[in-house]
Each structure stands twice: as structure tokens, then as C-alpha cells.
Amino acid sequence: MDLPLGGPKGVRTALQTLIDIALIATRDQQGTPRNVFDTDDDDDGTATIYVLTKTYGLAGRITGNENGSLGLHPAVYFYGPTGRHSGPMFMGTMTLVGRKLSNNDKTFFNKFTQARSKLEHILVHHKDLIATIIQKHIGPKRVDKYADLLNDLIDHLNAGEDLNELEIIRISGLDGKIFVGSGSDATKSFSDDAKSEAFIMTALRTSIKCPICDGYLDTDKSVSYDHIVRARDGGSGRSDNCNLTHPYCNQSIKN
Ligand SMILES: [Zn+2]
């Protein structure tokens, strides 16, 4: 039987992605399992259920309507400058959240949310720079290095710093290896930066922002309906008393 063009490769890629997410979700503080060969045989199914539960828990922090869901907008967090899905950005974001869950770091989600608006501004307006930083690392290191960068950006933003391109490069540890300002502003043609920014902004144009954290909402996949005036304070169930928010923000920040 002929398989449709791209079928088997697409299936393999999706399966590998799922395996990678399961590994991130079950990784301990020592970084084990590193790959599937680090995992034991599962004789009675308990290990499989454990892995699936952990994977579901991690995925539920990234997207979906569960209470702890950050509802990350894919155009902000997972798209590279050409508007295509970036493997290292996706896996790196998963890795950072997976690490915090594994370390039982309960403060992280609050810290992330405090920095979220400024972090998303960086991720949207400096996609080319972020892609260049990722490219400077060798393939196997890209995911972990991107997770480190996100974590460091969040810390610096929470320390009250406003980060320009030079500071982002410094935080990435690549100062002296990446240079900004090519002088292309002087030309009349659109720079790659301008084109990619236009693409991303088009993707985000119809997006609304969460009134609690001012981060982008992916209302197709993750949304929570928040009483502006709380029900217990007499707030009504009418639409004019209803805000669309991230599930995490509604459940954890407001209350
Ligand atoms: Zn929010």
C-alpha cells in the first residue's frame, strides 16, 4: 500500500516529539532519564501510567483549560522568525517548565506571570535575535540552553531590568559572538526583522491579552472565565462582568 507523501515521516516526527515530552516530564533533578534507554522495562503497566500522568501534567501547564495552565500562545513561544514552528523553542519551554515541576518549585509560576508581559514583548520583538542565539549553540545543547535563557530572562525582568538586545545577548552568555545593528534601517526594503515581526504581529493581531498578567491569550485552547466583581462580592453572571484570562492567572494570581 502506498502511504501518502510525508505520512510516515510525519508520524515518526510526532511520535518522537511525544517521546521527548514524556522524557522531559519524567526527568528528575539529576536529569534522568536522558533518553528512552535510561528507562526500565514496564512489567505491570505502573511505569507507563506514571509517565503518562507526568506528561499530561506538564502538557496541562503549557496549554489547555486546567487550573494551572499558563495557556502559552504558540506564536509567541514556539514560532521562529519565519513564522514556522521552532523545535528548540518548543522543547526548551517544555524543559524549563518540566524542570520547575521536577524541582517542585512552586514560586516559578508566580515569577513567570509577574514577568510575562515583558518576556512576551522580548519574544515577539526579538525573534531573529533569539533564533541567532539558539543557532550559536550546537544542536544537542540548544534545548537546554534555550530553557536556561528563558529562566534567566525571567529573573532579570523580575529584578526590574529593562532588557535591550545587548543585554539579552549578555544574559545568553554570547557577548562578543553576536552583533546587533546591521545598518539595514537605512534601506527602503524591509529588513528580515521587519518582515518577521509583521508576520508574528499578524498572527497575534486577533489575540486578546489577559487583563491579570497582560500576556497573550490563546483563546482557542486555553481560557478561563473570570468574574470581574467576584460572585461572593455580589458580582453577576452577565457578560459585562466576565473577563477572559489565563487559567493559571484566574485560579492562582487573582485569589
Ligand atoms: Zn494571565
* pLDDT tens digits for range 140-169: 899 999 999 999 999 999 999 999 999 999
Measured in Å, residue 2 CA sits from the centre of ligand 1 at 47
| Contact present, 65 and 222 (Cβ < 8 Å) | yes
Task: Report CA(211)–ligand 1 centroid distance (Å).
Answer: 7
- Give the Å distance between the CA of 12 and the centre of ligand 1: 34
Quote the CA–CA distance of 200 and 80 in Å, as a whole number. Answer: 9
Distance from the alpha carbon of residue 140 to the mean position of ligand 1, in angstroms: 32
Nine-digit cell string for 75: 506564536
- Give 175-188 pLDDT, tens digit per residue: 889 887 654 445 56
Instruction: List Cβ<8 Å contacts ≥24 apart for 150-157.
Output: 150/92, 150/93, 150/96, 150/119, 151/96, 153/115, 153/119, 153/122, 154/111, 154/112, 154/115, 154/119, 155/111, 157/114, 157/115, 157/118, 157/119
Grid cell for residue 28:
528528575
What pLDDT sits at residue 1? Answer: 40
CA of 248 to the centre of ligand 1 (A): 7
d(CA 164, CA 230): 39
Whether the ω angle into residue 33 lies within 30 degrees of 0, i.e. cis, is yes
Q: How confident is the model at residue 6 (pLDDT cuts 50, 70, 90)?
A: very low
Label residue 159 exposed, middle or buried (CB < 10 Å: 0-12, 13-18, 19+): exposed
Task: Spell out the domain ranges in the chain.
Answer: 9-175+190-253
Q: How far is the CA of 170 from the centre of ligand 1 (A)?
A: 28
Distance 152 CA to ligand 1 centre (A): 20
User: How far does the centroid of ligand 1 lie from the alpha carbon of residue 249, in Å?
Assistant: 5
